[in-house]
């Protein structure tokens, strides 16, 4: 296990800046996820830690050792790639042992490490097979096993589940979480899939346009997003955003474009125009009899998504503003229905014109 520390790290390809002055610390034994859309810089940042991309400026320490100038093989990290990168003519056992033979490790030690890794990944019976005889999930397990036998200071995963089908991705994700619990190893995991990030991470680094938007636990970034980008990117579906006017007064009301006013108990910005964010689970479809209660307004349903345990209603307010509301799994709402929706006044966020959360000011 080892702490990984980046201080003021930057990287450019020609005139294009891809990493801008990033500083972060991955704690020893932590599973940290780099999350962001394509082009956000997450894979480049991982490759800089691995030594596959150079660092233009700033410092990198792995286990307290200055590492920005070290060759990849000297950094004592193991990387698992999206494409597995297995040798097709070698058996699983040979694939896992290959790197250890290259550094001259004793055969008895190699065999011991390979057996231990195979047992940990529950693939003892696969050791004699070749990659062509394995499923995608089994190949990915071999790639992970090849990293484990190196006994590195840290594991680096670059979108390792992207090539798997949906059900296999879920199963392998659970296996990775169990592996981390057993090994208590330092791991960095890169993904664009926010479900993977939420379910695997001790902490998430949300990247956007080559810079860090927020670092926090999964529930921190979900419940307390630092920016409009984080609020929209985390969650499925993402947060609703509506233009509002914050009015003055005691229990400060917020006026929506359709004239509906919502009283907020939590601290709100000074009077003015903002963007209000609220997650779909905090917007409920209510019955007509409940429609007269406080904090409800009318909306027309466009699309209905039935997801089994819940129903999502894509609604439009009278002024044209759109938002997603949630109803029970057994809901009988239909497209075209006019319904009342209730907004939870304790679950709102405000974002300024720069997209920063008012709560993080």
> Which of 190, 224, 258 finishes a domain?
224
| Residue 350 domain boundaries | 240-360
Please indicate, yes or no, if residue 232 is contained in any of the structural domains.
Answer: no
**How would DSSP label each residue in 223-253?**
HS-SBHHHHHHSSSS--EEEEEEEPPSSS-E
Q: What is the CATH number of the domain that holds 58?
A: 3.40.50.300
Kindly tell me the burial class for residue 251, based on how many C-beta atoms sit within 10 Å of its own C-beta (0-12, 13-18, 19 or more): exposed
Residues 254 and 136 in one domain: no
- pLDDT 10s per residue in the chain (361 long)? 799 999 999 999 988 889 999 999 999 999 999 999 988 999 999 999 999 999 999 999 999 999 999 999 899 999 988 787 889 999 999 999 998 888 888 999 999 999 988 888 888 899 999 999 998 888 888 988 888 898 899 999 998 888 777 777 888 888 888 888 888 889 999 999 999 999 999 999 999 998 999 999 999 999 999 999 999 999 889 899 999 998 876 566 888 988 888 888 767 778 888 899 999 999 999 876 554 566 889 999 999 999 999 999 999 998 899 999 999 999 999 999 999 999 998 899 999 888 899 875 5
What distance in Å separates the CA atoms of residue 249 and residue 267, rounded to the nearest whole number? 12
Residues 190 and 329 in one domain: no
Q: Are 325 and 313 in contact (CB under 8 A)?
A: yes
Paired tokens of 260: 């509906």
> Which of 165, 189, 224 finishes a domain?
224
Residues 216 and 270 in one domain: no
3-state SS, one letter per residue, for 257-321 = CCCCEEECCCCCCCCEEEEEEECHHHEEEECCHHHHCCCEEEEEEEEEEECCCEEEEEEECCCCC
Provide the number of structural domains found in the chain: 2
Residues 201 and 320 in one domain: no
Q: What is the CATH number of the domain that holds 273?
A: 2.40.50.140
What distance in Å separates the CA atoms of residue 308 and residue 306, rounded to the nearest whole number? 6
Please indicate, yes or no, if residue 235 is contained in any of the structural domains.
Answer: no
Q: Are 279 and 240 in contact (CB under 8 A)?
A: yes
Q: Are 186 and 25 in contact (CB under 8 A)?
A: no
Residues 213 and 262 in one domain: no
Angle at the Cα of 141 from the Cα atoms of 140 and 142, rounded to 5 degrees: 90
DSSP 8-state code for residue 81: -
Residues 143 and 269 in one domain: no
Task: Enter the pTM of the model.
Answer: 0.88
> Which of 224, 256, 282 finishes a domain?
224
> Backbone phi, then psi, for 69, in 5-degree steps?
-100, 0
**To which residue do tokens 């879920």 refer?**
170
């Amino acid at each position: 296990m080892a702490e990984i520390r980046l201080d003021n790290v930057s990287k450019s390809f020609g005139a294009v800046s891809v990493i801008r002055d990033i500083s972060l610390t991955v704690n020893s034994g932590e599973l940290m996820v780099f999350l962001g859309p394509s082009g956000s810089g997450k894979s480049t940042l991982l490759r800089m830690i691995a030594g596959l991309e150079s660092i233009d400026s700033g410092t990198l320490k792995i286990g307290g050792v200055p590492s920005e100038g070290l060759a990849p093989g000297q950094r004592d990290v193991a990387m698992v790639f999206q494409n597995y990168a297995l040798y097709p003519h070698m058996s699983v056992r040979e694939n896992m042992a290959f790197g250890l033979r290259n550094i001259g490790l004793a055969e008895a030690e190699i065999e011991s490490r390979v057996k231990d890794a195979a047992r940990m990944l529950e693939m003892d019976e696969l050791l004699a097979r070749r990659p062509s005889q394995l499923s995608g999930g089994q190949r990915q397990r071999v790639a992970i096993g090849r990293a484990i036998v190196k006994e590195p200071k840290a594991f680096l995963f670059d979108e390792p589940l992207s090539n798997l089908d949906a059900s296999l991705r879920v199963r392998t994700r659970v296996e990775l979480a169990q592996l981390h619990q057993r090994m208590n190893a330092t791991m960095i995991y890169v993904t664009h899939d926010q479900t993977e990030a939420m379910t695997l991470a001790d902490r998430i680094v949300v990247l956007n346009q080559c810079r860090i938007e927020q670092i926090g636990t999964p529930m921190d970034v979900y419940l307390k997003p630092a920016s409009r980008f984080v609020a929209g990117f985390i969650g499925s579906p993402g947060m609703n955003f509506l233009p509002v006017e914050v009015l003055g007064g005691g229990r400060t009301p917020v006026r929506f474009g359709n004239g509906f006013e919502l009283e907020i108990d939590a601290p709100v910005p000074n009077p003015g125009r903002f963007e209000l964010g609220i997650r779909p689970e905090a917007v409920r479809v209510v019955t007509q009899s409940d429609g007269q209660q406080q904090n409800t307004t009318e909306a027309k349903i466009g699309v209905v998504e039935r997801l089994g345990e819940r129903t999502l209603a894509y609604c439009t307010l009278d002024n044209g503003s759109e938002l997603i509301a949630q109803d029970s799994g057994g809901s009988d709402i239909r497209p075209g229905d006019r319904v009342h929706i209730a907004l939870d006044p304790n679950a709102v966020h405000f974002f300024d014109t720069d997209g920063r959360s008012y709560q993080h000011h």
